[in-house]
Structures are given as C-alpha cells and as structure tokens.
Amino acid sequence: MTTTPTDLGNAADVRTVLGDLSGVDQVGLEARAAALATRSIKKDAKRTAIDLAISMVDLTTLEGSDTPGKVRSLAAKALRPDPSDPTCPRVAAVCVYPDLVGTAREALGDAPVGVASVATAFPSGRAPLEVKVIDTEYAVAAGASEIDMVIDRGAFLAGDLQKVYEEIVAVRAACERPDGTHAHLKVILETGELATYDNVRKASWLAMLAGADFIKTSTGKVSPAATLPVTLLMLEAVRDYRDAFGRQVGVKPAGGIRTTKDAIKYLVTVNETAGIDWMTPTWFRFGASSLLNDLLMQRQKLKTGRYSGPDYVTID
C-alpha cells in the first residue's frame, strides 16, 4: 500500500499504522459517552453552546425531491436562521447534491457560508472509481467548497482496505482546484454499516491517512446514524492522529441529531475528548436539518423567557 505524500514519513506505511491500532473497549466507550451525556449545561453556558452549535450546522437537504426552490430557501435560512434576531449566527454550510451546488452557491452569493456537496455515488458508493471522480470534479467545478464522499463499505467489510484507501486518495486529488487550493474533503464512514467499533477506528485512521480533512459518521440514510459513542471514538481518533502526525482533522456527526439537548451532549464530548481546538466550525460540524429549528426555538426561549413553538421557525 502506498503512503500519502503528506502525513506519513518514511518510517511506516499505512498497513503498519492500522495494524498497530488497539481494539476498542466497547463497554468503556459506551459508559464514557453516557457519562458525558449527563452534564448539565444551563443559562449563559447554554446560550454560548446554542450559538456555537448553530454556527456548526451543515444545513442539509438530500432528497430525491429537492428542487432549486427548496435549495434557495435553505440558503436563505442558512444566511439568516432567525430573521427576527440579527444576533443569531449563520450556519457553517449548506449541504446538497452535486447538481444543486450551482444553485446553492448563487443563492448564498459572497456570504461566508460554505456549499458542501455529497459526491461519489452518494449514499451507497456503488459506482466505478471513474464515475466517483467525475462526480467529485463536477461538484468542485460548480463551486462546492466541501465534498462529502462515501467510502466503499462493501470493499472495507470484505477486507479490501487497499481499494478504499486508493479511492479516497483519488477523490482527494479530484478536490484540487486549478489555483492550487482544494475543496475540503469529508469522508463518510457510514458507521451504521461497519458493524463494530474496531472497524470504525480502523476506517477513521484509514481515511485520515488517505488525506481526509474531515471524517463524518453517516450519510443519514442508514439507521443507526450518528451516535454519541461512535462520535466519541472518532474524536479520539482525530486527537491521536494529530499527536502522531501533526495534522488536525475535523469530525462531523450526521443524522439523528434533532434536539438542542443532543447537540450540547456532542459539544461536551468534543471538548472533553478532542479538546478546545475542535470547538469551532472549522473542525466540528453537525450534519442536520431539523436540529436547526430546535436550536432556534431554544434560543428564543432563553431570550424571551417563554417556550417557543414550531409556528415561529420555518417549515422545511
């Protein structure tokens, strides 16, 4: 297996690094996640957490029925999540299918909100590498600032790590722009299909070694999607990876995070596991759609002292 040009020195190759990973203590991991989920975050801390969570949201629409109109309204919401409150922060990005990247970019204008595009035959990833590369190049050319790729879970489970690795490297190369910059590559592991925590750890390291800028839990199309233990495990992986190779990688849980309470549990876990360096939209994201409305309702509750309701946020 070849090594990436960036992270690995001459000392080790990918197979050695993956072989040195220890197994995951399942009971310990789940107990740790459950313990972190009990923290009570109230008042000013909650206010800060809600604003941070809003600024970390990748506002997502990934349906077969997506229309340009829906993407434009999503973009409008990304720019002004709460039109009644100018102090409400913007979200990090909108996340759409490749053919709608142009529409999203146009609707967002020059605003500092990214356009993330899923690519590589999302959500299954069942397409030849050439198709995946073209899919990616199309999205980058259309103006995507971030690419969310899926790994080939079939190959991973069959033990063909070489194939998974080379696909990520190829897609990472397709993210390059002519001016020398590159669209940020998020690698979706689809942890709900990887069966074991050991596999999640291995896949995380494999993706990072292949050049991922972000590792992402799920497509949102498979249940279970993001869970707290899995995210905790991936946060440990990015922390250890930075210690080992000096490069910081972001984490994005996606799917199934619907309430402010959940989002705050994730933020606690980020802070306690990876550390304060990851507590920014640059290094941590939520892939979500309905989460944003709940965050906005909680924000209104803290501001006015009254419980808010779904009549006061958009219907998506």
Partner 1 sequence: MSRLDVRKTYKLYIGGSFPRSESGHTYEVLDTEGRFLANAAKASRKDGRDAVGAARKAFGGWSARTPYNRGQILYRVAEMIEGRHDQFTSDVVSAEGLSTQQASKVVDAAVDRWVWYAGWADKLAQVTGNANQVAGPYFNLSSPEPTGVVVAVAPQDDSLLGLVSVLAPVIVSGNTAVVVTSYARPLPAVTLSEVLATSDVPGGVVNILTADAADVAPWLAGHLDVNGLDLTGVDDASLATDLEAEAAVNLKRVVRPSRPDWAAEPSLSRMTAFLETKTVWHPVGV
Q: Which residues bind partner 1 (CB under 8 A)?
A: 305-312
For 152, list phi and psi in degrees, rounded to 5: -80, 95
Helix or strand or coil: residue 23?
A: coil
216 an active-site residue?
yes
Q: Which is nearer to partner 1, 67 or 290 (CB)?
A: 290
Q: Which is nearer to partner 1, 110 or 311 (CB)?
A: 311
Torsion on CA atoms 36, 41, 47, 53, rounded to nearest 10 = 10
Q: 246's torsion region: left (phi>0), alpha (psi -120 to 50) or beta?
A: left
Q: Which is nearer to partner 1, 112 or 309 (CB)?
A: 309
Q: Which is nearer to partner 1, 94 or 313 (CB)?
A: 313
CB 301 to partner 1: min, Å: 9
CB 85 to partner 1: min, Å: 15
CB 314 to partner 1: min, Å: 15
Q: Which is nearer to partner 1, 103 or 300 (CB)?
A: 300
Strands ordered across the beta sheet of 214-216:
250-252, 214-216, 184-188, 146-150, 114-119, 93-96, 57-60, 286-288
Length of the chain: 316
Of the candidates 152, 252, 265, 294, the residue annotated as catalytic is 252
CB 307 to partner 1: min, Å: 4
CB 311 to partner 1: min, Å: 7
CA angle 154, 162, 191 (to 5 degrees): 40
Of the candidates 148, 213, 262, 294, the residue annotated as catalytic is 148
Instruction: Using alpha carbons, select from 85, 78, 139 the residue that is nearest to residue 112.
Output: 78
For 208, list phi and psi in degrees, rounded to 5: -70, -40
Of the candidates 46, 132, 202, 216, the residue annotated as catalytic is 216
Q: How many CB atoms lie within 10 A of CB 78?
A: 25
Q: Chain-centre distance of CA 125, in angstroms?
A: 17
264 Cβ contact partners less than 8 Å away, ≥ 6 residues apart: 41, 46, 49, 50, 53
148 an active-site residue?
yes
311 an active-site residue?
no
Catalytic residues: 148, 216, 252
